[in-house]
Structure 1
Amino acid sequence: MLSKFEGIVLRAKDYGESHQIVLVFTEHLGKFTVMARGSKKAKSRFRAVTEPFTQAQFVCFAGSGMPTLSQADILKSRHILRSDLLLTAYGAYWLELIDKLIAEKEPNPVVYRFLDLALDLLEKRTDPDILTRIFELKMLKIAGYQPVLHHCTHCHSSSPLVAFSVRQGGLLCAKCVSTDPEAIPVTKATARILPILQMVELKRLGEVTVKPETKEQLEGVICLFMDEYLSHQWKARHILKQLQSAMSTS
């Protein structure tokens, strides 16, 4: 039986000397694994379509085993992402988030369209740090661990928010900061931007200008929250940080 679907390649794993097992994130089928026979050969018609970030229309033959790729028409190659080492690292982290937080064959058209637009913006060199924070917050919501960022997580007041509590799951006002001795002080800019990043629609995202020190604090609190509540090791994030560190000292 033949099946046709649109999807974005998350990763491909070598299988034997010339084949690959390709994990595709689809709009209506969720994560879907296919066998791309002969895709490692230099003249294979599937060679380009198995690259991460590639978006295509796939046609597969489904028999008793793993579906086999029969045809693929590239919609977006996203070669710009793969030609820039740093952009590749950002994108790889996003794909890792999708891979680990979306279950196999669990349809999620909203996240699919979100990933599609985010990759387009990354390719256009929209601030990758801000895009990554938006992506992380989006995936935290999908995973069921959305931090409280619009009011004090302890008393629910809208008083000025001055600290972030990983333990209590969000921002704290000045009156409640003493309820968590380990709460992380945040600047007014961080407290203002966090809820915006949580709610902003990518298609409405305009020009982004955030100070480096604010970006660093945004990253710090969100990553601490993720590491506390999500039981995953983020290999791609670690590689991204190593690459950023190397580039900043070169």
Structure 2
Amino acid sequence: MTLHQGEEFRGIVVSRKNYRERDMLVKILTDRFGFKTFFVRGVRKRGFKLGAAILTYTHGTYLGSINDQGLSFITTPREIEQFQNISQDIELNAYSAYILSLSEQAFKEDWVPYWYAKLEQALILIDENVDAAVITNIIEVQLLEFFGVKPFFESCTICHRTELEFDYSESYGGLLCQRHWHLDPNRLHLDQRTIYFLRLFSAVKLDKINGITLEKETKLRLRRTLDEIYRQQVGVYVKAKHFLDQMQYWEI
């Protein structure tokens, strides 16, 4: 167990919970070390100075000590701000919680540092009211490879043609063009608009998105498709997804 003292890092406060009488455990996604749990002492003492820095969905720069295995510690926050809309809107909060929880599962073994900027940008877009469902779908598609599932979306997995209609085959791990549909009777039978957005989402860069609008039916088909892929090929289900599913049921 190694304690790295005096470290500076970017962070997003993911969650927090009371610990003992006056202390708190705060989970923060850090840019360099991934998801870490920080022990914060004396939260309910008068004059406590870190209050704003450990609010959920606060992000900024922190100084502290990072423990490889046990609890880490914050000493000083710098240039922090909160995602106000996410903090105050139950729907945006739910999407953000799901994105972060799913990411924590994907990077349970090894953190990939460039994903910090990607997840921070996803929350920035959601906080700016860019369609949270679409941003979530993009993250889901791009996380698949870190669950050991990397669908081949560039072309047909058999002949590599790009100009024909496609469908998604779980058995072949990607797209089949219509000339090879017969190879997999259990392909997902997706419409071409859903296929288009799956391919787009696999490659799009979040920092290039200014706004995006999809029809309700397209969003529903994407949701069902990604749920199927995650259920059959990934096998991961995080608690935050349950609330999202409930919200979608309320909207019907």
TM-score normalized with structure 1 length = 0.88
Matched, 1:75 2:84: no
Matched, 1:111 2:115: yes
Are residues 205 and 66 of structure 1, via their aligned partners in 2, closer, same or farther at CA, if it must alter by over 3 Å? closer
Query: Unpaired segments of 5 or more residues in structure 2?
Result: none
Q: Deviations over 1:60-106 (max 9, x none)?
A: 246896333222235221121010010000000011012111136x4
Aligned twin of 1:18: 22
Aligned twin of 1:50: 54
SS at 2:126's partner residue? helix
Contact 2:141 2:198 in 1 (8 A): no
Shift of 1:42: 7.8
Amino acid at match of 2:136: T
Contact 1:163 1:173 in 2 (8 A): yes
Mean Cα deviation higher: 84-93 or 44-53: 44-53
For residues 177 and 238 of structure 1, the distance between their equivalents in structure 2, rounded to whole angstroms, comes to 33
Contact 1:12 1:23 in 2 (8 A): yes
Contact 2:66 2:73 in 1 (8 A): yes
- Mapping of residues 77-156 of structure 1, within 5 Å: 77-103=82-108, 106-156=110-160
The number of residue pairs the alignment matches comes to: 247
SS at 1:33's partner residue? strand
Identity %: 27
Shift of 1:223: 2.0
SS at 2:179's partner residue? coil
Amino acid at match of 2:30: T
Q: Deviations over 1:192-226 (max 9, x none)?
A: 22111110111212432222111111122222112
Q: What RMSD, in angstroms, separates the aligned Cα atoms of the two structures?
A: 2.4
Matched, 1:231 2:231: no
Contact 2:141 2:201 in 1 (8 A): yes
Mean Cα deviation higher: 54-63 or 78-87: 54-63
SS at 1:90's partner residue? helix
Contact 1:24 1:32 in 2 (8 A): yes
Contact 1:153 1:172 in 2 (8 A): yes
Mean Cα deviation higher: 197-206 or 63-72: 63-72
Mean Cα deviation higher: 214-223 or 122-131: 214-223
For residues 62 and 232 of structure 1, the distance between their equivalents in structure 2, rounded to whole angstroms, comes to 28
Amino acid at match of 1:83: Q
Contact 1:81 1:87 in 2 (8 A): yes
For residues 178 and 22 of structure 2, the distance between their equivalents in structure 1, rounded to whole angstroms, comes to 61
Contact 1:20 1:40 in 2 (8 A): no
Shift of 1:23: 1.9
Shift of 1:157: 2.5
Aligned twin of 2:167: 163
Shift of 1:159: 4.3
Query: Unpaired segments of 5 or more residues in structure 1?
Result: none
For residues 223 and 43 of structure 1, the distance between their equivalents in structure 2, rounded to whole angstroms, comes to 47
